[in-house]
Amino acid sequence: MLNNTPICTHCDSSNNVKKYGLARSGLQRYRCGHCNKTFQAKYIYPAYEENMAKQVQNLLSKGKTKIQICGILKLRHSVVDRYL
């Protein structure tokens, strides 16, 4: 049997991660038994995905403006400002 339990995004623990209901979007939520925090394996809005800060910094280093970054990554201006 395959174990499809995700790794905790807060403490990187893979054991003691259990299903913890559904989010409003209908996606599965998980709770880590090690750090007692909840998370989702994937999100509808891309601002919460892993490595988003790196993607913003990478585009900025290539000379893109904030407005162009918002268009490319489909983020709000306030989210891009938070990563900068």
Run means of pLDDT, 10 residues per run, the chain, 84 residues: 72 87 89 90 72 86 91 87 82
Yes or no: say if 17 and 6 are a contact pair by the CB < 8 Å rule: yes
CA–CA separation, 27 vs 5, rounded Å?
14
In this structure, which long-range contacts are made by residues 40-45, counting pairs with CB atoms below 8 Å and at least 24 apart in sequence? 41/6
2 vs 84: CA distance, rounded Å: 39
pLDDT (0 to 100) of residue 31: 93
Q: What is the CA radius of gyration of the chain?
A: 16
d(CA 37, CA 58): 29
Residue 77 pLDDT: 87
pLDDT at 68: 92
